[in-house]
Amino acid sequence: MSAIERISSLLTPDISEELSKLDAESRETLRLLLEQATIEVFPAKGVEEQVRILPKETRIAVTCPPREGGIDTTLRFTEKLVKEGFQPTPHISARLIPDEEYLGKILQRLEEQNIKEIFVIGGDSEVAVGEFDSSLALLSAIAGLGSNFEEVGIASYPESHSKIDDDILLQALHDKKGLASYMVTQMCFDAGVIKDWIGNIREKGIELPVHIGISGPSDIISLLKFAKRCGVGDSARFLKSHASLIVRLFKPDYSPDRLVLDLTPYDNIQGFHIYTFNQVEKTEIWRSGMLKYINQLRK
C-alpha cells in the first residue's frame, strides 16, 4: 500500500458518517465530481515532482504568472506535463499577449503538443502589453484564427470581483458564452452563495456548464493571502474570523470536506476545480481518501 493510500484511509469520523448517510445517487455524483476534478498548479520550482503522484488521467490546469516569464513559463511547463503523459489545460492570459502574430505562435505551439483544452483569462497584469485587454478580446481573436479546441474555459465570480462591478461581470458572461464551453468559479467557501449565484445567472440566460472552484487542503495563512489577492468576499472574511480559533485548536489547516458535501446534492454543477496553492500531494491525499471511502460504500 502506498503512502497516499495509507493516509487517505484516515477520514475524520464526522465526514465519514455524513458520506455514509448520502443516498447512492448523491454519492455517485460526488464520486464523479472528485474523480474528474481539475487540479490547478502554478508553474514553479518543485511542483513538477509533486504532479507525478497524480494519475495520468487527472485534469491539470497550469496557471499563467503575470511575471516570471508569463505565458512562456506556462507553455514550457505544459510541454513538460505532456511529455510525462498528462493532458494539461494551460491558462492563456490576454494582457500578456502583444499582438495576433504572437497569439498565432502560441496556438501553433499548443497544436503541436496536441492540447485539446485551454482556459482563457484577462490576467492579473494591470496594463495590457498589447491589443488584448480582456478575455473577450482574446476569445474573439482565437475564434477568428480558426482554432478548434475541444474545450475553452472562462472565469466567473460568485462573490464579485475586487476591481469589476457585478453588472459588468454579468454582461461579460453574456458576451463570452458563445465563445466558451464552460466556466470556472473563483474560489468560494460558501455553498449557499454558490447556489444563489448559479440560480441568478441561469435566470439571466447563461447556461454554460459550471465548474466550482474550491480550495484544496491548505494552511490558513496561505489561504487567506490567496483570498485577499483574488478579492474573495464574505466567505473569506468568515474564514478569517475563525482562523484564530482554528489556530488555538492546533488545527491550522482548511479542508474542503464541508463545502463539497454541502454542494453534492445540487445538480447544477459539472465539476470541481481545485486550487492547490502547489500543495499537490496534500490535495491528492484528500481527494483519493474521499474517493476510497465512497468506493467502499458502493460495495
Q: What pLDDT is stored for residue 12 in this prediction?
A: 58
pLDDT digits (tens, 9 = 90+) for 103-146: 999 999 999 999 999 999 998 777 888 999 999 999 999 999 98
Say how far apart CA 272 and CA 252 lie, in whole Å: 23
Q: Does 68 reside within a domain? A: yes
The mean pLDDT of the chain is 85
Q: Does 66 reside within a domain? A: yes
Q: What pLDDT is stored for residue 10 in this prediction?
A: 43
Q: Does 234 reside within a domain? A: no
Q: What pLDDT is stored for residue 120 in this prediction?
A: 97
Q: Does 240 reside within a domain? A: no
Q: What pLDDT is stored for residue 108 in this prediction?
A: 96
Domain region containing 191: 3-219+255-298
Residue 243: band (very low, low, confident or very high) from pLDDT cuts 50, 70, 90: low
Residue 33: band (very low, low, confident or very high) from pLDDT cuts 50, 70, 90: very high
Average pLDDT of span 273-284: 92
Q: How many residues does the chain have?
A: 299
Average pLDDT of span 203-226: 85
Average pLDDT of span 214-223: 80
Which residues are paired to 91 by β-bridges? 119
Q: Does 181 reside within a domain? A: yes
pLDDT digits (tens, 9 = 90+) for 172-209: 999 999 999 999 998 888 899 999 999 999 999 999 99
Taking the CB of residue 249, how many other CB atoms lie within 10 A of it? 8
Residue 268 CB partners (closer than 8 Å, separation 6+)? 195, 198, 199, 202, 210
Least confident of 39-48, 103-112, 251-260, 284-293: 251-260
Q: What pLDDT is stored for residue 161 in this prediction?
A: 67
Nearest 5°: the CA angle 140, 161, 167 is: 70
Residue 210 has pLDDT above 70, yes or no: yes
Share of the chain above pLDDT 70, in %: 82
Measured CA distances, 88 to 32, 42, 52, 116 (Å): 19, 12, 13, 9
What CATH number is attached to the domain comprising 119? 3.20.20.220
Residue 242 has pLDDT above 60, yes or no: no
Average pLDDT of span 22-48: 92
Residue 298: band (very low, low, confident or very high) from pLDDT cuts 50, 70, 90: confident
Q: Does 248 reside within a domain? A: no
Q: What pLDDT is stored for residue 175 in this prediction?
A: 96
Q: What pLDDT is stored for residue 218 in this prediction?
A: 82
Least confident of 113-122, 144-153, 216-225: 216-225
Average pLDDT of span 148-158: 94
Q: What pLDDT is stored for residue 253 in this prediction?
A: 74
Q: Does 260 reside within a domain? A: yes
Say how far apart CA 61 and CA 154 lie, in whole Å: 12
How many structural domains comprise the chain?
1
Say how far apart CA 299 and CA 292 lie, in whole Å: 11
Q: What pLDDT is stored for residue 250 in this prediction?
A: 41
Residue 227 has pLDDT above 70, yes or no: no
Q: Does 126 reside within a domain? A: yes
